[in-house]
């Protein structure tokens, strides 16, 4: 799709007005999730004629967009989410960023956006993290959350793939996604709304999927729940995923099961990593369809002992309760179960460099 794209190096133009060190330290002490942004952002432009160009890391600043920019009307947009982790020796690492690069390319293809070469994706995050190294928190489970995204900037109201596109990466220091930290979350089973249908955009990471999840997410909150759980659109029977996380079931024999990639589920990198880490630890792992009936019966019979959600932002979060118009299910004791805790510790130990990275998942950034 692109014409003459040469290697993109994302050279750094440093900000002349960075946030004062004392204020930055104050932010890093309690960043929450998605509240604060660093001093820089990475950017590149694509045009149908010239391919990718104008790549740089520049001071963080508002964008100037024509009001007719296609993204504002037809939501031609895709994004990614990954984290930079500071290790005990001060070095900074990303977890499987090549997988994010590949998923961004798959999402872009589905949204008729140009694909960014994997090396360019990696260069953009490396250069941004180098420029904003002081913003990578240390201690606890904090990290620098990176949000690469691509938007259709062409000023044109006709409905077709835009011929001008912008790629950006912004960064935000992150503590825990859920305000309660490792406290179990409750989830609402959405029966009125589905997230994605076969042939739709569910397996792409595009903003529209999240826009469509906001109303069911509000319903979840009205029912006292933290997150919404979606079932498949055709039969309304098969468990898919949460608004921004994949889901796992732990069985009484220690095996773990996650819904198979159905074509409408987002292929989570945390999900895939847990299949591998659990298998490494000798657990039986399964990807298959899981029905809501199996969920109910499994909790009633004691076969399902724990349920957890997983994703970059949420890491691994225990699901204490499932609420639906048909009643409420409590998983195990309603707290974090031992298998959830073990997998969480294993994953975090790899990400923070406390455990051998046997799969070569970590990439050093600084």
Residue ranges binding ligand PLP (CB under 6 A): 81, 241, 244-246, 266, 268-271, 311-312
Q: Binds 246, which of ligand COI, ligand PLP, none (CB < 5 to 8 A, cut-off by type)?
A: ligand PLP
Strands (E) across 60-156 are located at 77-79, 82-86, 92-95, 143-152
Give the binding range for ligand COI (CB under 6 A) out of 2-10, 53-61, 227-235, 306-314: 306-314
Residue 268 contact among ligand PLP, ligand COI, none, beta carbon within 5 to 8 Å by kind: ligand PLP
Least CB distance to ligand COI at residue 124 (A):
16
Q: Which stretch binds ligand COI (CB under 6 A): 14-22, 277-285, 288-296, 311-319?
A: 311-319
* Interface with ligand COI (CB under 6 A), residue from 137, 148, 244, 259: 244
- Which of ligand COI, ligand PLP, none does residue 232 bind (CB under 5 to 8 Å by kind)? none
202 binds, among ligand COI, ligand PLP, none (CB under 5 to 8 A by kind): none
* Closest-approach residue to ligand COI (CB): 81
Q: Considering the complex, what minimum distance in angstroms separates the CB of residue 361 from ligand PLP?
A: 13
Asked if 312 is part of the footprint of ligand COI (rule: CB under 6 A), the reply reads yes
> Which of 226, 329, 313, 281 is closest to 32 using CA atoms?
313
Assigned token pair, 19 = 């946030």
Residues whose CB falls within 8 Å of the CB of residue 88, separated by 6 or more in sequence, listed in order: 352, 353, 354
C-alpha dist (Å) from residue 22 to 29, 34, 101, 162: 11, 20, 34, 43
CA distance linking residue 60 with residue 80, whole number of Å: 18
Q: How far is CA 44 from CA 11, 117, 167, 346, in A?
A: 11, 12, 5, 36
Angle of helix 97-110 relative to helix 118-131, nearest 10 degrees?
120
Q: How far is the CB of 177 from ligand COI (least distance, A)?
A: 7
Give, rounded to a whole angstrom, the gap between the first and last alpha carbons of the chain.
32
Considering only 81, 114, 259, 337, the residue that binds ligand COI (CB under 6 A) is: 81
Secondary element (H or E) of residue 189: strand 185-189
Q: Does 5 bind ligand COI (CB under 6 A)?
A: no
Contact flag: residue 216 with ligand COI (CB under 6 A): no
Which is nearer to ligand PLP, 267 or 294 (by Cβ)? Answer: 267
User: How many residues bind to ligand COI according to rule CB under 6 A?
Assistant: 5
For residue 153, give the nearest of 41, 75, 71 by alpha carbon.
71
Determine the Cα–Cα distance for residues 357 and 160; give it in Å rounded to an integer.
Answer: 44
Integer Cα distance of 304 and 112 in angstroms: 41
The yes or no reply on residue 184 touching ligand COI (CB under 6 A) is no
Applying CB under 6 A, which residues contact ligand COI? 81, 244, 311-313
């Amino acid at each position: 799709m692109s014409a003459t794209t040469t290697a993109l190096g994302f050279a750094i133009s440093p900000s002349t007005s960075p946030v004062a060190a004392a204020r930055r330290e104050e932010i890093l002490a309690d960043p929450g999730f998605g509240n604060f942004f660093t001093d820089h952002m990475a950017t590149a432009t694509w045009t149908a004629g010239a391919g990718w160009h104008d790549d740089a890391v520049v001071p963080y600043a508002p964008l100037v967009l024509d009001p007719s920019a296609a993204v504002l009307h037809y939501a031609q947009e895709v994004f990614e989410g990954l984290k930079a982790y500071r290790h005990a020796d001060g070095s900074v690492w990303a977890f499987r960023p090549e997988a994010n690069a590949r998923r961004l390319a798959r999402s872009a293809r589905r949204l008729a956006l140009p694909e960014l070469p994997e090396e360019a994706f990696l260069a953009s995050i490396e250069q941004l993290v180098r420029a904003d190294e002081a913003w990578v928190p240390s201690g606890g489970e904090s990290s620098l959350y990176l949000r690469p995204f691509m938007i259709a900037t062409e000023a044109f109201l006709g409905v077709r793939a835009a011929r001008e596109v912008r790629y950006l990466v912004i960064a935000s220091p992150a503590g825990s996604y859920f305000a309660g930290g490792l406290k179990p979350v409750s989830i609402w089973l959405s029966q009125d709304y589905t997230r994605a249908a076969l042939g739709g955009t569910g397996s792409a990471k595009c903003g529209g999927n999240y826009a469509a999840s906001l109303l069911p997410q509000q319903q979840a909150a009205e029912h006292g729940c933290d997150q919404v759980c979606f079932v498949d659109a055709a039969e309304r029977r098969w468990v898919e995923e949460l608004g921004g996380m994949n889901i796992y079931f732990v069985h009484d024999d220690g095996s773990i099961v996650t819904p198979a990639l159905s074509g409408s589920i987002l292929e989570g990198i945390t999900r895939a990593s847990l299949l591998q880490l659990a298998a490494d630890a000798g657990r039986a792992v399964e990807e298959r369809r899981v029905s809501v009936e199996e969920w109910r019966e499994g909790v009633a019979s004691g076969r399902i002992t724990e349920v957890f959600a997983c994703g970059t932002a949420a890491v691994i979060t225990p699901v204490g309760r499932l609420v639906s118009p048909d009643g409420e299910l409590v998983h195990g004791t309603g707290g974090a179960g031992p298998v959830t805790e073990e997998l969480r510790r294993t994953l975090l130990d790899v990400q923070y460099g406390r455990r051998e990275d046997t799969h070569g998942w970590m990439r050093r950034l600084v």
